[in-house]
Each structure stands twice: as structure tokens, then as C-alpha cells.
């Protein structure tokens, strides 16, 4: 009883400690913490992955790690994703993947065409809401992190990879972390790169020096110089980078103070990685590098305070609105920094945005956009006096091709928008005009020669810049006699259910099979070259080998777990007609077009595979496909009989009755023995060559094991017409010289999805 109480107390203390750690979140997640979150906190893999994304992981990239994760039931997808994450971290210690919602948001706003130079663009984005030391005058902010996230999504929409975006928010936005990131970028950025720097948070001036107030800054006269990030240090750090172009956006109170420390436009032009001017006669390679362009756009001048509104800082709100198209004055689908600055000046009335350029700044440089302002600032509309026009924008609705109201459409389906308005009073010379705009759609501009009194409606076809599933919002503007009214509405486009198609294969069907008390639903494909049908085996965790008490078990059938990536495997053994089409010959003893090819060596089979773009299955792949989720000696149950398998029925397994001994092969798929994946003849008919050398199973090679690196024999699986029933068990292994050719040995090929292109439909 006392022991039990001590155990309960220990578990309680461990749980409390883990909860405290979870709340504080001051360090990267360890493997033990990941296992605890799943086993005791019952968190989903998505929830755990979100925390790894946010806080990082202090986990060793080794087989023991994946063994423990697999033992706790983590999926193959999670393990594979963690493996990729740990490899990335080892290369870029300061980088972390962006949160799922940011990636989805960026993808939703993705431009139809990636911005030129996106592949060589990088970004460092900082947003600080929470400050560790709330000294006098320093209060936490509400929207700085939102602004940083919005800027990250904007860069993703341009086509910049998340692997090139460093996002530092709240407790990660420290002076040390920012310096480490900029130092790490020195190894990655090239002379062709563009670097975006964005900061949203507090800034301050002290003794003529501008500072970024970082998460851990002590904002007092005695400590600010030690704990804040001097803006002139940013200048020094950036001067060490090899980037050709630097764009710095500062959304912070007193951020204009960056100019007071020498100004971004006065960076040392001779410093490596900054504005470079070649000295006459200089032989220094760095001095001969092309000049670097620098731009700084700040939210306020020194001694002014940045404001916030409706979920975003007013500066960032209008900045992104302008960059996405509202600032595109000449409607060339590009927004220059000058256009963005003018848009900010026109809209941010409470502040005076400032912009500075290096002498060599390319004024034509701009970011691509999809939407543009409805009317150029250079054109001034002179509306008809309202007193002479009386009308109302009554309604607008989305319609299908049959002109029926609809808000959800299938991708490729005809979509219409139909506005309705009523005009009661007009002035001479009035015209009606319809404008339709929205992210991702082609703008519509329809002008009617003359306005008329009455009720009118006009359907317009909606066309996309790049057809894609998702949620869309459009704005419909009606102009009558120069006066304007607008309405917005949303609609959804759904992608049709299209099964993935792999290069060299054609999708056939989705089928459900039941066998041995197991039911699976699988996707089936046809191999275009050979006509053979394949089944997609889902990746995941499988048990290979046999339990110690299984009848007729051999010593080399160690029961162990493996993790396999998805792969395609042939539903049947290769027939003689297929072999002849590819190899132009037939070595088989028992002849017939539908009979399995036999008397083929391992080398013969590999030659066939090379000609068809296929390969032989590993032992793990073969047994996982054979078992189809079962753990019994056969995939149909504890015994087998000659009605469903071709083996020597004179020697049955366990208490099964004796049966016919056919003494020859039977046509492939001619017996009713499809397993729960739809594979035929996995027990009997002919042995099937595997890729592996024969040897003891490895307990450390768990992910897609491929057997020993060398050996003297290859492995055959499945048994044959010539063998006893016990030799046809799922776990039975038969070593054979790879040159051996017998009338009871054939094969079935596979295709690994890691070696195949997925066709995007």
C-alpha cells in the first residue's frame, strides 16, 4: 500500500513539474517531454508538432529516438517530419519552421506567379508584444506579433520559402538571438540575395542613440545601453552581409531614430556586403562586387509614437494593404517603394512615415501584386451632383451556369456574379458602370453607354488569375451618374476529388478488401508500360517476423517493428505474357500466358525491373504487404487449404485437412485468395524474390530497412506449389543464390514512391 502511495505521489509531482514547464515554456522540448505530452496529456500529434515549431526541439537525430516514438504510437508522417526538422536545425541552428496557420495563410494569398528572385530572398521578422521588464513607460503591446505574422504571410505569398524566413516573436526576440541570426545569415546569403528586415515593437531614443527595445530590455537610463539593441549595431551587422539589396521596415515608436544614428542611407558604402564602390585600381575582389541597394521605411519620425488600430499597427496595416496592390498607382501590377510611401503618407494621418534610400537605389524595383487601386491618383473623378441622381444598389449574388444562386462551386465550374440596382432619377449624360475586383480574380470593368431609369441586373462571368480551390471575397462597385456604391460577398471553390497520379502509372479505382478479420480500403493503379496492376500500400508501422510460439517457426523469424514509407506493389506475380513483352523470351517450364514466369534468377528479375522502372520489394515491404494487417501464420487466418492456395496439400499446416498436390503452377489470380490489400498468391504458387541479402534481422534499422549490406544469398518469400504448407507462412524466409533458376521461383515488383514523380492535376 505504501509503495502504491509513493508511486501516485511521484506521478503527481512529475505531472505538476511537466505542467509548470509547459506553462513557462523556457526551453526546447526534449524527447521525454514529447512522449509525456502524448501519453499523459493526451495531446494530438498536431498539437505536439505546433509546440515543436514554436519552441524548438532538443532531440537527438538517431534511431533510438524513432524507436521510442514508434513504441508510443507516433505515426510515420510525424516521425518523418521530425527527422527532416532535426536535419534542418543542424544546418541552421537559429531557424524554426513557421506555424501551420502562417503557411496556410501565405498559400491562400499566393501570387499566381512567384516573385522574380524569391528563391534568393531572405527575411528576419521581429514582433514583440510581451516585455519581461515593464519599467515605467514601457507597456506591453497588443498587435506587434500580429503584424509580424502578417508580414511573414505577405512574404510567403510572394513565393519566398519558409526556410528563408526567420521569425522572432516575444521571448525569442532577444538581443543575442537577433545577433546570432544575422551572423548565421552571413553563411547563407549571397551577393544576389535580397534581405527583408521587419521590426514591430517599442523603440526609444537615449542620448542621441536609437534603440530597439527587445523582450529582455531593461528600459532605464542605467541599463538601456546594455540590454537594448542599438540601431547602429543593426547597421554594423547588415554591413557584413553579402546581400545585394536590403529593405528595412520599422514599425515602432521612435523608429525614425534610426536616422539619428547615421541613417540607413549613410551606411559605409565601402563595407563588405553593403553599398560597394570600387576604388580606382583596387584588386580586392570584394571591392569589385556590384553595389548594394538599401532602403528604410519607418513608421514615425523621432519622438513620435506609433499607433495601433483594429488588430494591426496602423503603419503595417496600410503598408501591407499598399504592397498588395492598393498603392499601385500606374496599375502595372508592381508596387515600388515610392508608391508604397506615398500611399502611407496619404492614409496614415496620425504619423509622418519616413523613407530613405541609398544613392544607388533602383527606383524601378517593386513587389508584384494582384489587385490594384480602383482609380489612379492622377485621375480626379467629378461626380454628378447627388441631388440630380437617385438610385440604390439593391443586391448582388453569385450564380452557377444555370443562373441559379450558389456560393459553393467546384473547381472549373462556370461562376457568375449578378448585381441588381434600381435607378429613379438621372441627370443628362449619366452612365452606368460595374467594377468587380478581388484577390485571385481578373478585374471586370463594364460600362453602359447611357443610364436609364428602372431596375437592372447584369450577370458577369468570373475568371481567375490562376484557378485554385479556396475561399474568395470580391467587391462589386456600381456607379450611376458618377456616384458609387459597393457591396462585398464571399464564395468558395472546392477542388474535385482527384486521386494522386504517379508518373508511369494510371489511377484505376479505390477498392475495399477483407481477409483474415481485417478490412482495408486501398487505391489501385495500372503500370503504363507493362499493364500490371499495383496497390498503394500506406506507410506506417508494421510487425515483421513471427511470435515465438508459432508452429513451425524458424530461428531467423525475429518478431520486430519496422516503419515503412508508402509504396506500390504488384497485385499478382509477373505472368509469362508480361515477361515475354519486356524480355522477348520465356524461360518457364510450365507454359501458359497467364501462368507466373518461373526459372528466373534474381539477376534476371532485376534486369526486368531496370527495363520497366520498377524494383524488387525489400523483405519488410513484402511481408507488410503479404500480412495486410494480420498477425496470424497466414493472411487468411491460422491455417490454409488448397482451395485458396497452390502448395503440396499432402503436408497441411496444423490441424488443416490434407488436400490436392497440383505439382505445377496455376494462372496468377485464379484462386480466390486476395488478401486484405487485394494481393493474390502471396502464399504458394511460386516463391518471390526480394531485394535483400539474407541475414539476421537488424533491430536498429527500423525505418525502411533494406537488410544486410552484403551476403552470399538473396531471400525468397511466400512458398510455392512445390512446398509444404508451413513453408508458405507469412514469416517464412528462404535463402537462395541469386543465380538460381528453378520452376518454383518467380517474383512480383514494387515501386517506391520516393523515386517517383507525383503528377499535379
CA torsion 539-544-550-554 (nearest 10°) is 150
- Cα–Cα–Cα angle for 331, 336, 339, nearest 5°? 75
Lowest mean pLDDT across 46-55, 348-357, 655-664, 668-677: 348-357
Top mean pLDDT of 431-435, 519-523, 570-574 is at 570-574
Q: What is the pLDDT of residues 436-490, one digit of tens each?
A: 999 889 989 888 767 788 888 889 999 998 888 899 999 999 988 878 899 999 9
pLDDT surpassing 80 at residue 514: yes
Specify the pLDDT at position 285. 33
Q: How many residues does the chain have?
A: 761
Cβ count near 704 (within 10 Å): 17
Round the average pLDDT of the chain to a whole number and report it: 82
Lowest mean pLDDT across 472-481, 574-583, 683-692: 472-481
Specify the pLDDT at position 190. 83
* CA–CA distance, 131 with 138 (Å, rounded to integer): 8
**Percent above pLDDT 70 for the chain:** 84
- Residue environment code for 446-476, b if the CB has 16+ CB neighbours within 10 A, otherwise e: eeeeebeeeebeeebebebeeeeebebebeb
Contact 703, 676 (CB under 8 A): no
- Residue environment code for 583-596, b if the CB has 16+ CB neighbours within 10 A, otherwise e: beebebebeeeebb
Model pTM greater than 0.95? no
Lowest mean pLDDT across 357-371, 499-513, 677-691: 357-371
Specify the pLDDT at position 445. 87
pLDDT-derived band at 258 (thresholds 50, 70, 90) equals very low
Mean pLDDT of 645-671: 96
pLDDT surpassing 90 at residue 570: yes
Specify the pLDDT at position 528. 95
Cβ count near 112 (within 10 Å): 12
pLDDT surpassing 90 at residue 581: yes
Higher pLDDT, 430 or 374: 430
- Cα–Cα–Cα angle for 624, 630, 634, nearest 5°? 90
Specify the pLDDT at position 525. 95
Specify the pLDDT at position 16. 45
Number of H helices, E strands in the chain: 15, 37
- The SS3 of residue 250 is strand
Contact 411, 496 (CB under 8 A): yes
* CA–CA distance, 346 with 194 (Å, rounded to integer): 28
User: For 285, which DSSP code?
Assistant: G
- In terms of phi and psi (left: phi > 0; alpha: psi -120 to 50; beta: otherwise), the region of 142 is alpha
Specify the pLDDT at position 304. 40
Higher pLDDT, 526 or 288: 526
User: Could you tell me which residues are beta bridge partners of residue 735?
Assistant: 715
Specify the pLDDT at position 54. 66
Sheet holding 121-127, edge to edge: 165-169, 121-127, 194-201, 245-252, 293-298, 354-357
Contact 166, 227 (CB under 8 A): no
Q: Which three cell numbers stand for residue 204?
A: 526609444
Tell me the pairing of strands 245-252 and 293-298.
parallel
Q: Considering only CA atoms, which of 299, 231, 237 is closest in space to residue 274?
A: 237
pLDDT surpassing 80 at residue 533: yes
Specify the pLDDT at position 95. 82
Cβ count near 742 (within 10 Å): 17
Q: Which three cell numbers stand for residue 271?
A: 563595407
Q: What is the pLDDT of residues 745-755, one digit of tens each?
A: 999 999 998 76
Amino acid at each position: 500500500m505504501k509503495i502504491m502511495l509513493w508511486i501516485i505521489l511521484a506521478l503527481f509531482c512529475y505531472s505538476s513539474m511537466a505542467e509548470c514547464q509547459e506553462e513557462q515554456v523556457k526551453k526546447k522540448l526534449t524527447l521525454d517531454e514529447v512522449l509525456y505530452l502524448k501519453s499523459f496529456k493526451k495531446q494530438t500529434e498536431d498539437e505536439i508538432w505546433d509546440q515543436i515549431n514554436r519552441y524548438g526541439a532538443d532531440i537527438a537525430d538517431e534511431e533510438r529516438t524513432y524507436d521510442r516514438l514508434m513504441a508510443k504510437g507516433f505515426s510515420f508522417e510525424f516521425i518523418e517530419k521530425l527527422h527532416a526538422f532535426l536535419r534542418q536545425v543542424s544546418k541552421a541552428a537559429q531557424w524554426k519552421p513557421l506555424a501551420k496557420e502562417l503557411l496556410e495563410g501565405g498559400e491562400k494569398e499566393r501570387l499566381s506567379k512567384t516573385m522574380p528572385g524569391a528563391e534568393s530572398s531572405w527575411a528576419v521578422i521581429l514582433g514583440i508584444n510581451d516585455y519581461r521588464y515593464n519599467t515605467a513607460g514601457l507597456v506591453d503591446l497588443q498587435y506587434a506579433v500580429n503584424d509580424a505574422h502578417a508580414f511573414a504571410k505577405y512574404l510567403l505569398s510572394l513565393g519566398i520559402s519558409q526556410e528563408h524566413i526567420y521569425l522572432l516573436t516575444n521571448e525569442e526576440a532577444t538581443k543575442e538571438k537577433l545577433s546570432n541570426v544575422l551572423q548565421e545569415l552571413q553563411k547563407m546569403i549571397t551577393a544576389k540575395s535580397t534581405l527583408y528586415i521587419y521590426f514591430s515593437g517599442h523603440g526609444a531614443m537615449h542620448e542621441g542613440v536609437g534603440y530597439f527595445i527587445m523582450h529582455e530590455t531593461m528600459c532605464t537610463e542605467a541599463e538601456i545601453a546594455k540590454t537594448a539593441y542599438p540601431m547602429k549595431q543593426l547597421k554594423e551587422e547588415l554591413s557584413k552581409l553579402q546581400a545585394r539589396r536590403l529593405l528595412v521596415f520599422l514599425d515602432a515608436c521612435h523608429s525614425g531614430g534610426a536616422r539619428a544614428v547615421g541613417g540607413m542611407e549613410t551606411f559605409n558604402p565601402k563595407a563588405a556586403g553593403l553599398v560597394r564602390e570600387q576604388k580606382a585600381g583596387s584588386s580586392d575582389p570584394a571591392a569589385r562586387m556590384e553595389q548594394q541597394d538599401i532602403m528604410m521605411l519607418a513608421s514615425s519620425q523621432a519622438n513620435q509614437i506609433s499607433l495601433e488600430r483594429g488588430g494591426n499597427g496602423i503603419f503595417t496595416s496600410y503598408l501591407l494593404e499598399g504592397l498588395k496592390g492598393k498603392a499601385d498607382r500606374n496599375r502595372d501590377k508592381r508596387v515600388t517603394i515610392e508608391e508604397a510611401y506615398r500611399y502611407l503618407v496619404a492614409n496614415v494621418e496620425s504619423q509622418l512615415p519616413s523613407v530613405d534610400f541609398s544613392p544607388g537605389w533602383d527606383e524601378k524595383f517593386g513587389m508584384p501584386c494582384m489587385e490594384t487601386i480602383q482609380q489612379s491618383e492622377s485621375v480626379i473623378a467629378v461626380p454628378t451632383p447627388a441631388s440630380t441622381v437617385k438610385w440604390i444598389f439593391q443586391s448582388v449574388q453569385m450564380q452557377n451556369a444555370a443562373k441559379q444562386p450558389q456560393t459553393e462551386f467546384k473547381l472549373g465550374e462556370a461562376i457568375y456574379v449578378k448585381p441588381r440596382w434600381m435607378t429613379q432619377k438621372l441627370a443628362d449624360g449619366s452612365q452606368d458602370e460595374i467594377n468587380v475586383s478581388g484577390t485571385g480574380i481578373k478585374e471586370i470593368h463594364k460600362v453602359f453607354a447611357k443610364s436609364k431609369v428602372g431596375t437592372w441586373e447584369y450577370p458577369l462571368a468570373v475568371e481567375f488569375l490562376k484557378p485554385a480551390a479556396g475561399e474568395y471575397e470580391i467587391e462589386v462597385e456600381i456607379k450611376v451618374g458618377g456616384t458609387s456604391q459597393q457591396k462585398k460577398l464571399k464564395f468558395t471553390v472546392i477542388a474535385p476529388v482527384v486521386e494522386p497520379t504517379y508518373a508511369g502509372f494510371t489511377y484505376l479505382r479505390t477498392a475495399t478488401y477483407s481477409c483474415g478479420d481485417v478490412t482495408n480500403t486501398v487505391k489501385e493503379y495500372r503500370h503504363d508500360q507493362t499493364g500490371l496492376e499495383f496497390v498503394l500500400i500506406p506507410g506506417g508501422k508494421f510487425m515483421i517476423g513471427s511470435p515465438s510460439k508459432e508452429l513451425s517457426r524458424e530461428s531467423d523469424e525475429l518478431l520486430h517493428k519496422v516503419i515503412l514509407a508508402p509504396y506500390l506493389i504488384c497485385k499478382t506475380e509477373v505472368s509469362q505474357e508480361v515477361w515475354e513483352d519486356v524480355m522477348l523470351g520465356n524461360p518457364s517450364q510450365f507454359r501458359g500466358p497467364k501462368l507466373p514466369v518461373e526459372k528466373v534468377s534474381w539477376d534476371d528479375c532485376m534486369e526486368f525491373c531496370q527495363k520497366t522502372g520498377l524494383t524488387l520489394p525489400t523483405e519488410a515491404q513484402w511481408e507488410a504487404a503479404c500480412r495486410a494487417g494480420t498477425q496470424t501464420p497466414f493472411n487468411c487466418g491460422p491455417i490454409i487449404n488448397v482451395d485458396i492456395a497452390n502448395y503440396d496439400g499432402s503436408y497441411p499446416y496444423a490441424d488443416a485437412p490434407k488436400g490436392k498436390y497440383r505439382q505445377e503452377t496455376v494462372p496468377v489470380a485464379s484462386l480466390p485468395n486476395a488478401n486484405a490489400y487485394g494481393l493474390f498468391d502471396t502464399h504458394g504458387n511460386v516463391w518471390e524474390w526480394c531485394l535483400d541479402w539474407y541475414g539476421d534481422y537488424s533491430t536498429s534499422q527500423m525505418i525502411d530497412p533494406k537488410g544486410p549490406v552484403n551476403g552470399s544469398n538473396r531471400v525468397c518469400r511466400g512458398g510455392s506449389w512445390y512446398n509444404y504448407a508451413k513453408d508458405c507462412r507469412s514469416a517464412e524466409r528462404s535463402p537462395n543464390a541469386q543465380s538460381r533458376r528453378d520452376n518454383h521461383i518467380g517474383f512480383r515488383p514494387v515501386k517506391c514512391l520516393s523515386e517517383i514523380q507525383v503528377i499535379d492535376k
